[in-house]
Chain A
C-alpha cells in the first residue's frame, strides 16, 4: 500500500502537489476548483502592496508543434486588494481543512513593512509563508523580488526580520537568476528560514514578431524582460535543487521543488533529487487543474511498482548519483545497437551520427528503405542516435566495458594512459 500524504515542515497535505504562487492561486474561485480537483495545497499568489498590471502579459516558446514548451510572463504580484485576498484565504482554510494553504509574500525592503505584512497575513490562519525573493521583473525595479534573492546579505536581513514575527513555518523561494543558488540559500538558512523552494522564473526575452519587429509580449509596441518557466526550465531547476541537497550545511533543509513540472515523472525526479514536495504552475496554466489526477495516479503506481510505501522512502535517493566529472569511470563504455526488427528506416540516427557525432553508423541503400547498422568499433556511446530515434526501444545502448576496474580521470592521467589517436 502506498501513501502519498505529504508533510512539509509540519504542514500536511493529502498529496505532495501544491500549486505554485501564480494566477491559478490568485483568488477563491480557482483555489476552490483546484481543491475540488484534488490538489494537495496552494501557495497563494504573492501578497504585498497592491500593484497594477499591464495588458498583454504572457508569451510562449512553441517547438515543432508543441505549444508552450516554455512560458514567459511580465505579471507582477497580486493586483487585487489585500483585504479581499486575506478574506478569501481565511474562507478557504475554513472550507478545506485538510489542504495546505501557504501565503506568498513580498514587501518593501524594510523591517516595518515586512513585520506589518507578516502580522496581517498570519491572522488568516494560513499554514506557512513563502517569501518571494525571486520575481525577476517589475518588482526588482522597486528593490524587491529577485533583487533580494540575488544578494545574500539583503536576503539574510529580510529573513531575520521575518523570523522575528513569524509564528508559522517560513519557506524562502529562491531566484534562479544567479550563478549559483547556494550563497543566497546558505544566507537565508543561517537567518533561520525553515525551508526553501526553487525555482522562480528565469529572466528571458521570448522572441520577436517578424512582421512588426516588436518582441513578445507586445505591450503597445514595446516589451520588457519577463520570467521564463514551463517544461524547458526543468533541467535548470533540477540542477539547482541538487546543489542544495548536496550541500553539507543545507542537506536537511526541506525544499519544495518548482520549475517545469508537468507530469508525475517530473515530480518523482524532483523528489529523487531531494525535494520534500513539488509545486506546479505552467502545466496547470496550459491544461487546467485536472492534471492532478494523473500526477497522483502515476506517482502512486510508480511507488507501488518500486515498493516505496511513503514519499520519504525515496526522497533524495538519486542525490549521491551526481558527482564531479573527474570522478566518472572512464572504463565504462557503451555502444549503440539498432533492433532491425523495430527500425523504420527513417535514417535520423544515421544523419545525426554522420553530420554531428562520430560517423559510427553505416548505410546500405535500399528501395525505398535503407538499412542502418552501428559500427561498434567507432561508436563512442554518446547516445545521440538513441535520442533522435522515434521508435521506442529500437536503439539500445549496450555496456561493453573497456576494463574491469573503476578508472577516473585523475588515475588515467597519473598512469599516463593514451588519448585518442584520431
Chain B
C-alpha cells in the first residue's frame, strides 16, 4: 500500500515539528517589544480578548521587571494564559486589534510577550494563588479540557472541593490531543495542567466517562453542582460513496495520533486530500506535509473570502506547500482493493449568501478527480447529541443551551466550552469555565 510510516529521519521530524513561534530568548529582546506598547486606555487588545486579559498592564509589568505581577495579571483573567500564548489565533484577537495596525506598523507581539511572562511562572512553579480553606462543598466537572480545568481552578480557589471526570487517560482535552504539534508539546500541556491543579482541591479521575461509567443522576446525588465541559466529538461523516475505504481517516483521530504516538509510527499517505478549510483542516494538512506527504490538497466548498480559518493559518498551509482547491466538494472516494486511490469532486460556483451569511456554493455539473492514497475528513466536529438526549439536557443541534452565565435547563448543572459553542478556541473555553465557576459559586451561595 502507498500509505507509509517512518518516511522521514528523526532529525527531519524534529525540525518539522519544532516550535512554530519561538519564544524570546532573553529579557532584552522582550523589552524592545514591551517598550513599544503604548499602554492604551480601555485597550482594544484587551477588548478583543475573550478572557479580557489586561494586556497593557502585563506588558508594563515586564518593563518594570515585576515578573510575578505580570504573570498574575495574565492568569487572573486566563488560567491557561501560557497555553493560549501559543495556540490563540491572535491575528484575529488581541494582536489583530492592536492600534499599531492602524498605523500600518506591526502590532505588539502580545502572544510572545505573554509566553515570556507565563512560561517563567510555570517553569518556576510560582505559587501565585493560595486556595481558601475547604468550605465542605463539592462540585463535579465532566471533561478535563480547558473549560473544565478553568472552572476547576476558579472553584477550588474559593474552597470548593472539585472532582473532574475525564474519559481520556490524560487531561487537557483538545489542547493535549487536538492542537497542532508545532504549537504545544505533550510535556508542555502536562506541565500546564500540573501547575493549574497545584493549588490543591482538584482531583482528576481519568478513564471515567459520562454515559459509560456513570450518569448525571449519580453525580447529582454526590455533588452540590455539576459543570459539563465535554467538548465535541469526531468529525461528521461526508455521506458519500467510498467513505469506508482504507485510507479515509477522521482529522480528529489523525491528529490525536500525532499527539499521542511517535511521529515515525504515524501512517501518512504520499498524496493526501484534506476536506475542509477550518483550523482542523489546516492543521491536518500542514502536519501531513510535515510528516512527509509529498502532495497535500486542501479542498473547500467556497472561496478564500468565505474561508473559516484565518489568513495566517491559510498562509501557513501555503508555506508548507499545500495546494488549495477552492469551490469543490467531494462527490465520491475512489478505490481499488479496498484502498483509496483518488477522490472525485464536484466543481461549484457561489450564489447569494445562505443562512450563515456566507455565499452559498452551487453545483456546476462539472467534476474532476484527484489521485490520492489518503483522505482526511475535517468538515466540522460532531457534538455528543445522543448523550445530551439521554441526560435530558436541552441543546440546539448538539450545542448545549445555556443562559444566565452558563446555566443549563437542569438546576445545578452548568456547561461551557466547545460543548456549548460548538467548537471555538481554547480561549473561549477558558472564559466559559471562568464564568461557570463564578456562576456556580453564586448558586452555592458562597
Residues of A within 8 A of B (CB): 64-65, 344-348, 350-351, 363, 365, 367-370, 390-391
Contacts and interface: CB of A to CB of B under 8 A. Distances in A.
Given A64-B63, A65-B63, A344 B99 contact: yes
Contacts of A346: 38, 40-41, 43, 99
- Across the A-B interface, the 4 shortest Cβ-Cβ residue pairs: A65-B35, A347-B41, A351-B41, A368-B44
A344 B102 contact: yes
B168 to A, nearest CB: 36
B103 A344 contact: yes
- Residue of A64, A345, A348, A368 with most chain B CB atoms under a 10 A cut-off: A368
Nearest to A365: B42
A367 B42 contact: no
18 contacts: A64-B63, A65-B35, A65-B63, A344-B99, A344-B102, A345-B40, A345-B102, A346-B41, A346-B43, A347-B41, A347-B43, A350-B41, A351-B42, A365-B42, A368-B45, A368-B97, A390-B38, A391-B103
Given A65-B31, A368-B47, A348 B39 contact: yes
B219 interface: no
Interface residues of B, number: 21
Nearest to B45: A368
Interface string B56-96: 00000001000000000000000000000000000000000
B390 interface: no
A345 B35 contact: no
B445 interface: no
Contacts of B209: none
A363 B40 contact: no
Contact of B40 (A64, A347, A365): A347
Contact of A345 (B32, B44, B63): B44
Main secondary structure of the interface of B (DSSP, over half): helix
Interface of B: 31-32, 34-36, 38-45, 47-48, 63, 97, 99-100, 102-103
Contacts of A368: 44-45, 47-48, 97
- Residue of B38, B43, B63 with most chain A CB atoms under a 10 A cut-off: B38
Nearest to A391: B103
Given A344-B102, A348-B40, A368-B97, 5 more contacts: A64-B35, A65-B32, A346-B43, A347-B41, A368-B45
B63 A347 contact: no
B99 A345 contact: yes
A47 to B, nearest CB: 39
A367 B40 contact: no
A363 B103 contact: no
Contact of B42 (A64, A347, A390): A347
B399 to A, nearest CB: 24
A27 B19 CA distance: 52
A355 B130 CA distance: 34
B349 to A, nearest CB: 34
Contacts of A65: 31-32, 34-36, 63
Contacts of B36: 65
B42 A370 contact: yes
Contacts of B99: 344-346, 369
A369 to B, nearest CB: 6
A413 to B, nearest CB: 39
A365 B41 CA distance: 12
Nearest to A347: B41
Given A65-B31, A368-B47, A368-B48, A348 B41 contact: yes
A369 B97 CA distance: 8
Nearest to A352: B41
- Residue of A65, A346, A348, A370 with most chain B CB atoms under a 10 A cut-off: A346
A371 to B, nearest CB: 11
A367 B42 CA distance: 11
A128 B100 CA distance: 52
Given A65-B32, A65-B63, A367 B41 contact: no
B106 to A, nearest CB: 14
Contacts of A351: 41-42
A346 to B, nearest CB: 4
Contacts of B102: 344-345
